[in-house]
Amino acid sequence: MTVLEAIEVTKQYNMGEVLVSALQNVSFVVAKGEFVAVMGPSGSGKSTLLHLLGGLDEPTSGEISLAGHTITHLTDDEVTVVRRRKVGFIFQFYNLVPTLTAAENVGLPLLIDGQKIEKHKEKIGNLLKMVGLAERSDHKPDQMSGGQQQRVAIARAFVNDPEIVLADEPTGNLDSKSGTAILELLRESAAALHQTIVMVTHDPRAASYADRVVFLKDGRIVQNLTIEAKNGASEDIRNIMRVMRELEL
């Protein structure tokens, strides 16, 4: 089943005199439970693509649909609702609210959606358990390590049972051990919970946990690589690096 579809998506930024082409005719499909990594050099359009997929921005032309519904020609209010209910975001710098506890941060998307937190205590507890932070639910972000904060951010991204989780460099700010824990968590949630995930990364090792890697260059998809082991195997990392060399990424 297709969860996410981008059809001939183009994004241009009008910067006064110059037109910056961030994405050009990008088409791709993500199936339910797929974990897709997006790689490419700085400026190749990775974050732009993620923002468009999550309804944070609108394409100049083309169409994006999420769970069978187009999100491209909706009003701002309509797209906000889609984003709240159907998309989970994970960013490089966690973006937790510093004055809230781990549990409150996880519940925040529900609160913003007008739901009663009391009703979701058990779910929030289970998510914190899933990310290995059951003991930390009352801790504030500054009382946790970077890796722990990112795990709270992952629990938060899952709290609205999103159709898709979008992650922009989720391990970019972490040491290798904490990064591996995050990648294993994402891999596990795709495999066990059929959570659909699109993750932007610079790191071949991070990408080697995905089912496949989409390579972007100058705003276009230039290659699609299937990952065999999907668990950080050195063979897969070598394959990714070989494609990067061949494409001069």
Residue 44, contacted partner among ligand ATP, Mg ion, none, CB below 5-8 A by kind: ligand ATP
Which one among 47, 101, 195, 239 touches Mg ion, defined by CB under 5 A?
47
Least distance to ligand ATP, CB of residue 151, Å: 23
Binding mask 206-245 for ligand ATP (x = CB under 6 A): ----------------------------------------
Phi and psi (nearest 5°) for 71? -110, 10
Q: Which stretch binds ligand ATP (CB under 6 A): 40-48, 68-76, 116-124, 128-136?
A: 40-48
93 touching ligand ATP, by CB under 6 A: no
Least distance to ligand ATP, CB of residue 17, Å: 13
**Pick from 31, 5, 87: nearest CA to 226:** 31
44 touching Mg ion, by CB under 5 A: no
48 touching Mg ion, by CB under 5 A: no
In the complex with ligand ATP, which residue's Cβ is closer, 188 or 203? 203
Interface residues for Mg ion in 72-101 (CB under 5 A)? none
Query: Residues touching ligand ATP: how many (CB under 6 A)?
Result: 12
**Pick from 18, 12, 15: nearest CA to 52:** 12
22 touching ligand ATP, by CB under 6 A: yes
In the complex with Mg ion, which residue's Cβ is closer, 82 or 216? 216
Least distance to ligand ATP, CB of residue 14, Å: 8
42 touching ligand ATP, by CB under 6 A: yes
233/226 Cα distance (integer angstroms): 13
Give the binding site for Mg ion (CB under 5 A). 47
User: Site residues (CB under 6 A) for ligand ATP?
Assistant: 13, 15, 20, 22, 40, 42-48
